[in-house]
Structure 1
Amino acid sequence: MNGNISYFDGHNDFLLRLMKSPAPREETWLGTGRAGHLDLARMKEAGFAGGLFAIFVPPVSSGPPPDFKALMANPPYDLPMPPEMDCRTAQPDALEMAGLLHWMERSAPDDFRVCRTPEEIRAAMHSARIAGLMHMEGAEAIGPDLDALHLFHEMGLRSLGPVWSRPTVFGHGVPMAFPATPDIGPGLTGAGKDLVRLCNALGILIDLSHMNAAGFDDVAAISRAPLVATHSNAHALCASPRNLTDRQLHAIRDTGGLVGFNFATFYLNRDGTASADTSFDVMRRHIDYLIAELGEDHVGFGLDFDGCVLPDLIGDVTGVPGLLRALSQAGYGDALLAKLAHENWLSCLERSLQPLG
């Protein structure tokens, strides 16, 4: 492998950090403070060519964020999930984050572009602009009448996960538990099934990460688009309900979909802990497994920057070239590395963002 490979990432939570950061907005985005996992300067340094930027409305809380390293230090564990959030509570934050994505483009037009189509993503990458695709993790801000989906679509929304781990009016997510399977709870509600159909009609990718097994099966039965899990790993190697069983991996493969390999240590480590002492071999075993079960055309990256405990070997976005070098040294050829890094995601988006109305 010669030099850095440009890569496309299926999931990050930078918009939430940007909204919550006590530092000036420009400092957080442009990278003068070098806080968190992502900023414009480090993305350019690391070869980050584009990705799905998540709108995620956090649970209402007056206290500090959870210490996942401590909470997940001694499995088994089953962390309580926050209660369902209604549309009126979720929508203001969601709209603010959507606006922040567009502000990022306005503040750095030569370096960043909000994209709505695969053609725009390729054009941005060709012109050395980072391509940002608007994603929503948990559809609380949409509401059961689905009217707001049209508005967010006009703003650029092209990928949506009906649930995060807490329940919504659309369905149920999986808990933060270990060991456990995703086969827990009921499937999609009537509103959830309508949401899937409208996403198909508008050309919005439906993200299966965080969804429980019954909801996964409902999407598979209803959707006419490829099945995609933007940031998940292999359940056979780490028995977190957030990871995908072999049956789910095969369903994704059979529709021409994709799974984004996730850096979150509690979805990587075989013991389910959030320990950051995670080796490149552990990461590679998940990627090897995903390739074996899905095929090399259906695996990409969904690295979860600013949303998880990263391996110390990665640290932040600038650690990705180290993983790519480790994969190269383990025998991954340049053609396969290019598929994993960006080609598979771009091909999947070409299949997934076509309106099917």
Structure 2
Amino acid sequence: MTLIFDGHNDVLTRILNSGGVDAAKAFLTGGKGHIDVPKARAGGFGGGFFAIWIPTENTLDDDFEAMKAEKYDIGLPQPVGVKNAVQIAMEEAAILVRLEEMGALKICLAAADIAACLESGTMAAIMHMEGAEAIDAELHALEVFYRAGLRSLGPVWSRPTIFGAGVPFRFPGSPDTGPGLTEHGAKLVRRCNALRIMIDLSHITEKGFWDVARLSDAPLVATHSNAHALCPHVRNLTDKQLAAIAESDGMVGVNFAASFLREDGRMLSDVPLEQMLRHFDHLIGHLGEDRVGFGSDFDGAVVPRAIKDASGLPNLIEAMRGHGYDDALLAKLCHGNWLRVLEKTWGG
């Protein structure tokens, strides 16, 4: 079975909402979510980026319902105060630590750690932060989270932070939806570069993208984004952005969220796998076969019915093989490209 290392999931938030640290044990036995140990084993899910994310006041279910329409423009959620965000972020980080204590996964700090996990069959986890609400202006929390294992960070989710602006859920639209990085954001990018924390560009505005491209000395990476040319959602990347990512030797993880895949931008699960393959083809055409991977957004989105959850990943692999992707290319897309870009970003 071809093992997959994936660019994004929201398992930690799902467990938080299910009861917090004490609910982590259900990850071992299975449940309603997209990812757990039984589903991972069944589908060849070898690990990925486990996101620390601060939930909104309203559930995303309301937004997903609105995104079933032919057109939508959902405003940016209100900013979250750093003190409240730190409390939630600490609990989600503790959930990840508990999962490691239970033997469900291993928190990885180097690309070699991930490779060893894939070899041994242990689920590999990167501690990632989706939106830096829990990071203060002085970046003290960044240093502490780094010591706890944080190795990847998106400055914003789809709401503003002191570091920059995120894109709303809007279709159709351009990713040029607002301002870029603030002075605090520029400081954050520089410190992440110094610590070799990967910077995730999946939710940032187009102006913010170009600010990071100008400031950062690391490969440009979007962990879970798709091609704007195929689905003109504001969350997707333009061909000009893809060219910059290719020039930096970065990469993009293909997002399984229906609204970022479908040409009509609707959050409906009847997405044929052929549509996903069109995004893979487009990204490979613009980035090259060494700079594309998976970025499922499992447990944080409505995904194609043909996949359903991590146990359905072999259905996608079979479709990719039928599409003409050979074993060498599949190995790169499924995990090799993530290992390459992480080693380049983090160092040996």
- C-alpha displacement of 1:85: 1.0
- Picking from 92, 111, 116, the partner of 2:109 is 116
- Secondary structure in structure 2 of the residue aligned to 1:35: coil
Mapped pair 1:286 → 2:279: yes
Match of 2:26 in 1: 28
Mapped pair 1:350 → 2:348: no
Distance in 1 of aligned mates of 2:146 and 2:82: 17
Match of 2:164 in 1: 171
What amino acid does structure 1 have at the position aligned with 2:173?
Answer: A
Mapped pair 1:161 → 2:154: yes
- Picking from 124, 127, 147, the partner of 1:134 is 127
Distance in 1 of aligned mates of 2:129 and 2:64: 26
Match of 1:78 in 2: 73
Query: What's the CA shift string for 1:167-204, capped at 9, x where partnerless?
Result: 00000011100001111211100000000000000010
Distance in 2 of aligned mates of 1:233 and 1:138: 19
Match of 1:147 in 2: 140
Distance in 1 of aligned mates of 2:68 and 2:111: 41
- Which aligned pairs between 1:183-194 and structure 2 lie closer than 5 A? 183-194=176-187
Query: What's the CA shift string for 1:219-249, capped at 9, x where partnerless?
Result: 0000000000000000000000100000000
- Secondary structure in structure 1 of the residue aligned to 2:8: strand
Question: For residues 247 and 65 of structure 1, do their structure 2 counterparts lie closer, same or farther at Cα, with a shift above 3 Å needed?
Answer: closer
Which blocks of at least 5 consecutive residues in structure 1 are unaligned? none
- C-alpha displacement of 1:67: 3.3
> Are the aligned partners of 2:76 and 2:167 in contact in 1 as well (CA < 8 Å)?
no
TM-score (norm 1): 0.95
- Picking from 15, 39, 43, the partner of 1:42 is 39
- C-alpha displacement of 1:22: 4.6
What amino acid does structure 2 have at the position aligned with 1:90?
Answer: A
Match of 1:102 in 2: 97
Match of 2:309 in 1: 316
Distance in 2 of aligned mates of 1:186 and 1:82: 16
- Picking from 8, 15, 19, the partner of 1:18 is 15
Match of 1:232 in 2: 225
- Secondary structure in structure 2 of the residue aligned to 1:66: helix
- C-alpha displacement of 1:65: 4.1
Match of 1:333 in 2: 326
- C-alpha displacement of 1:25: 1.5
Question: For residues 77 and 85 of structure 1, do their structure 2 counterparts lie closer, same or farther at Cα, with a shift above 3 Å needed?
Answer: same
- Secondary structure in structure 2 of the residue aligned to 1:78: strand
> Are the aligned partners of 2:24 and 2:95 in contact in 1 as well (CA < 8 Å)?
no
Distance in 1 of aligned mates of 2:70 and 2:24: 40
- C-alpha displacement of 1:75: 2.4
- Picking from 191, 200, 204, the partner of 1:207 is 200
What amino acid does structure 2 have at the position aligned with 1:74?
Answer: A
Distance in 2 of aligned mates of 1:299 and 1:274: 23
Distance in 2 of aligned mates of 1:69 and 1:189: 30
User: Segments of 4+ in structure 1 off by > 4 A?
Assistant: none
- Which aligned pairs between 1:50-69 and structure 2 lie closer than 5 A? 50-61=47-58, 64-69=59-64
> Are the aligned partners of 1:28 and 1:35 in contact in 2 as well (CA < 8 Å)?
no
What amino acid does structure 1 have at the position aligned with 2:202?
Answer: S
> Are the aligned partners of 1:86 and 1:143 in contact in 2 as well (CA < 8 Å)?
no
Query: What's the CA shift string for 1:251-303, capped at 9, x where partnerless?
Result: 00000000000100000000010111100111100100000011000000000
Distance in 2 of aligned mates of 1:341 and 1:347: 12
Match of 1:268 in 2: 261
Which blocks of at least 5 consecutive residues in structure 2 are unaligned? none
Match of 1:221 in 2: 214
Distance in 2 of aligned mates of 1:163 and 1:307: 16
Name the stretch that deviates more: 283-292 or 79-88. Answer: 79-88
> Are the aligned partners of 1:260 and 1:300 in contact in 2 as well (CA < 8 Å)?
yes
- C-alpha displacement of 1:36: 1.2
**Identity %, equivalent residues:** 49
- Secondary structure in structure 1 of the residue aligned to 2:61: coil
- C-alpha displacement of 1:26: 4.4
Question: For residues 162 and 26 of structure 1, do their structure 2 counterparts lie closer, same or farther at Cα, with a shift above 3 Å needed?
Answer: closer
Mapped pair 1:92 → 2:87: yes
> Are the aligned partners of 1:31 and 1:42 in contact in 2 as well (CA < 8 Å)?
no
Query: What's the CA shift string for 1:50-100, capped at 9, x where partnerless?
Result: 211000011134xx5433443022222101221111211101010011111
- Secondary structure in structure 1 of the residue aligned to 2:126: strand
CA RMSD of aligned residues (A): 1.4
Match of 2:288 in 1: 295
- C-alpha displacement of 1:354: 3.1
Distance in 1 of aligned mates of 2:72 and 2:273: 25
